Structure 1
Amino acid sequence: MTDAAAPDGYAIRTDGLRKVFRKQHAVKGIDLEVPRGSVYGFLGPNGSGKTTTIRMLLGLSSATGGSVELLGRRVPEALLEVLPRVGALVEGPASYPYLSGRANLARFDAADPTTDPRTRADRVASALDRVGLSHAADKKAHAYSLGMKQRLGLANALLSPRDLLVLDEPTNGLDPQGTREVRNLIRSLADDGTTVFVSSHLLAEIEQVCTHAGVMRAGELVAQGSLDELRSAGVRTLTVRTPDVGQAGSVLTRLGLTPRHEGGADVLVAELPSAVLAEDVTAELVRADVRVRGITVGGGTLEDRFVALTGEGFDVAA
């Protein structure tokens, strides 16, 4: 791990975290660094070790090796002190099917020895309102749709103020409107100073709401950082629009690029190495009397970056 920030600058910090099931290495020595106040997207294909990692972070599963710090305290040693400051929704919400949403939350709240029973009704009502379930508060949980059950799980995680919120696939089962509401909720929590750790395979959702991300592949953390850092590490693309396609192609080839036709007969596209400046390419084209109608440089997309890192596709639909 780097020393770019002091330990208390991270809401989550792991060092060589490992999990072995018999002979299967599910998590292979990962070093997570989740800055306080960030919205951190934990990405990876199914089976890459995301949920196993989350379970170790929360003390739901013991680590085979390595260490974990939550909110600056070592866990599992300080779990009883730290967990009241952490809200979580892991592997889908659990509820009592024949109790109402309101009664479920009241029961969950009563199980927390740090809460004040005199203000329980207010906390429950506030949590239901925040996830848009006030209208169904007295409906039995077994009659909830999958999306409503997901909202109830989120409400449970928000019963008390949290310094850290850990969400495993929080938009699972939600319609587009519900997904948008959860996205807005995450933003509002981050604005209030809560660090939000979101595990997901929905790339579009991560890109819209997160400030940082980490990418898992087969139990390994293959990249992490701010979204801008991850984008900048991707492939840049040069697009040239010109009527002199053949002449432009010769110039690009001479500069070590590999041009290809894409998007029209007058368009050439090539990957642009970091060592090659777009200004130099433009100057060479002009020097060769190529009539340049337009030239643009695009950074590699997050989708391209993640597919390159994992070797697998992502569900990019919202």
Structure 2
Amino acid sequence: MAIETRGLTKTFGHQRAVDEIDLRVPRGSVFGFLGPNGSGKTTTIRMLLGLAAASSGEIRLLGGAMPESSRDVLPRVGALVEGPAIYPFLSGRANLQRYDDADLLTSRATRNKRVDAALERVGLGHAARKRAHAYSLGMKQRLGIANALLTPRDLLILDEPSNGLDPQGTREVRSLIRSLADGGTTVFVSSHLLAEVEQMCDQIAVMSAGRLVAQGTLDELRAQGTAHVRVLTPDPGAARRVLESLGLSPETGGRDDVVTAELTLNGLQPETVNAALVRADVRVRGFTVSGASLEERFVALTGEGFDVAG
């Protein structure tokens, strides 16, 4: 595992901001870390990186126990947490040079080459000499990602990497993250943009009130939700009777020849429903199944809508 925690807990006084979470992030994956505002996502990330001490529990990054192995592990980890810290009076290029200068493991002889490559990779080569105070929020965000990419990384931890980006910038960051994963880098992404997570992540975990309420592949999480069945048939009455015999609650789908119903995927399977209709001589002209969206699963797991500020 690239990241593994056991019983990880963080308390502030009598409040448990993170409550005994067991997180598992496979190597080489793009892992989405979701949760509403105040759910404990950023606190968890800070503990993973040694920026905050855990109250109890265990953390392993890239196979090394943290914080004991931080000297060996952290040089292999790039991170962007709670927005980039930049010197506004310096250019983007000068900012990266200062960041790189603080890394005692890199060579000055190749510094300019690394800085220029990182800027080009995030699409800031044209603005390299512009002072950072003139950067838009999205450009500052990309500069922070460039900092995380100054040297090759085995693990990249990004807290809201698409914050402030326009649609084109968001697509570029998504493409960058996928290319990093294809090259073997594990990417851990905390985000509130559900559509982005669905497009770029292999696996996700969902936090709610400090607890880890779900984790797994996107298909696994969707399969735990509710599917919607739509039957197109000239025999709607017979179709409803069959669905009722299966314990479902069918409804007319806006047309006389359409019957809809909901079923839990980890119980009754769609193919079972279709077979029952055919056995009852219901003339099925169309049978479609739409699974639960990630947003529907999030609301079901956390009991609330997604706070875009989270």
TM-score, scaled relative to structure 1: 0.93
C-alpha distance in structure 2 between counterparts of 1:180 and 1:228, whole Å: 23
* Counterpart among 256, 259, 262 of residue 271 in structure 1: 262
Structure 2 portions without partners, runs of 5+: none
* Counterpart among 291, 300, 304 of residue 308 in structure 1: 300
* 1:111-160 deviation line (CA, Å, top 9, x unaligned): 01001011000000000000000100000001100000001000000000
C-alpha distance in structure 2 between counterparts of 1:141 and 1:279, whole Å: 57
C-alpha distance in structure 2 between counterparts of 1:141 and 1:280, whole Å: 60
C-alpha distance in structure 1 between counterparts of 2:194 and 2:269, whole Å: 30
Distance change >3 Å, CA 262–CA 71, structure 1 → 2: same
Aligned to 2:261, the other structure's residue is in SS state strand
Q: Which residues of 2 match residues 47-196 of structure 1 at below 5 A?
A: 47-196=38-187
One-letter code aligned to 2:151:
S
* Counterpart among 192, 204, 214 of residue 195 in structure 2: 204
Q: Quote the offset at 1:86 in angstroms.
A: 0.4
Q: Are 1:259 and 2:250 matched, yes or no?
A: yes
User: Sequence identity, in percent?
Assistant: 69
C-alpha distance in structure 2 between counterparts of 1:105 and 1:77, whole Å: 28
Q: Quote the offset at 1:262 in angstroms.
A: 3.0
Aligned to 1:148, the other structure's residue is in SS state helix
Which position in structure 2 is the counterpart of 1:229? Answer: 220
Indicate conservation of the 8 Å contact 1:202/1:315, yes or no.
Answer: no
One-letter code aligned to 1:188:
S
Indicate conservation of the 8 Å contact 2:3/2:62, yes or no.
Answer: yes
Q: Are 1:294 and 2:305 matched, yes or no?
A: no
Q: Quote the offset at 1:281 in angstroms.
A: 2.7
More divergent stretch after superposition (176-185 vs 250-259): 250-259
Which position in structure 2 is the counterpart of 1:28? Answer: 19
Distance change >3 Å, CA 21–CA 291, structure 1 → 2: same
C-alpha distance in structure 1 between counterparts of 2:86 and 2:247, whole Å: 60
Q: Quote the offset at 1:299 in angstroms.
A: 2.5
* 1:235-278 deviation line (CA, Å, top 9, x unaligned): 22221112322232122112211112335342222122444343
Q: Quote the offset at 1:292 in angstroms.
A: 1.9
* 1:221-241 deviation line (CA, Å, top 9, x unaligned): 011111222122222222111
Q: Quote the offset at 1:315 in angstroms.
A: 6.4
C-alpha distance in structure 1 between counterparts of 2:176 and 2:16, whole Å: 35
More divergent stretch after superposition (50-59 vs 243-252): 243-252
C-alpha distance in structure 1 between counterparts of 2:68 and 2:26, whole Å: 21
C-alpha distance in structure 2 between counterparts of 1:183 and 1:302, whole Å: 18
C-alpha distance in structure 1 between counterparts of 2:132 and 2:251, whole Å: 56
| RMSD, aligned α-carbons | 1.4
Instruction: Count the aligned residue pairs.
Output: 307
C-alpha distance in structure 2 between counterparts of 1:279 and 1:70, whole Å: 42
